[in-house]
Chain A
């Protein structure tokens, strides 16, 4: 078992929390670091190790708002890991919640979903006043 991630977000980086026991990975906020691999390398590593060592399912909960292309590339790596695990019979799923005023993030999520065959919900949420 790998230690869980608990990364506090900043203006340009998302909050990232993992829960090995509960089979959950959560990310929220903006993601546009100059070098996304420095940040996402550890998330990719956690996901890969979880899918390799644990036997229970993994649910990815996303409330990401904006991603630069370098973060998009890192997210694609994570979705590819989930897709491989799904093909191998593991239970994996994604829920991506977005503010209804921001249709761009829904479009981005939709483009990721096109390449995935596991359950992938893109859930609009009414903005909080």
Chain B
């Protein structure tokens, strides 16, 4: 294992924080805490720091909920999470996970549809989703996705890569 290559890759892509592996409830909290502390030392605007943290929480909790619903084991219930900065100083929050291929395709389509909505329409969709009964929560654009879309300064970007196993790898990026 060449850690120097890994490190150089991270530096090149301006990755501040990265995680890959089985993600537990407590790990989400600990990484979240590290992320908050890091943003504080970077003197990020409090509202940006809050948005980055919030998008990170929604992404990782969505992954945990999905893996739980699918009954995935520890190996399948892994997540790849990265927080980086782009050339313009925006924060990029990305998370990826294993999904059933059809679910991944449907998610990409949902995210693409959200890209066409302006702030007023996103707020309306968010408030509608908020009022859906809990048992219907997983239909339509999830509350978490709508919340991320509202916090992102650019439309969310999603992709799905088919894997040899027949499943897919879903990735989502929000720009703060």
Contact = CB atoms under 8 A, between A and B. Distances in A.
Nearest to A100: B46
Interface in B1-51: 25, 28-29, 32-33, 46-47, 50-51
B57 A32 contact: yes
A101 B130 contact: no
Contacts of A12: 29
Contact of A69 (B51, B123, B134, B147): B147
A102 B50 CA distance: 8
Given A37-B134, A104-B47, A69 B64 contact: no
B54 A101 contact: no
Contacts, number: 46
B61 A104 contact: no
Given A34-B25, A34-B61, A68-B61, A103 B47 contact: yes
A62 to B, nearest CB: 17
Contacts of A101: 46
Interface in B55-77: 57-58, 61, 64-65
A32 B134 CA distance: 17
Interface string B131-143: 1001000000001
A11 B28 CA distance: 11
A72 B29 contact: no
A69 B25 contact: no
Contact of A104 (B50, B123, B131): B50
A50 B46 CA distance: 37
Nearest to A35: B65
Contact of A68 (B25, B47, B58, B123): B58
B75 to A, nearest CB: 20
Interface string A61-82: 0000010111011001000000
Nearest to A99: B46
Given A34-B64, A66-B53, A73-B130, A102 B47 contact: yes
A101 B47 CA distance: 8
Nearest to B28: A34
Interface string A31-46: 0101001000000000
A34 B65 contact: yes
Interface of B: 25, 28-29, 32-33, 46-47, 50-51, 53-54, 57-58, 61, 64-65, 123, 127, 130-131, 134, 143-144, 147
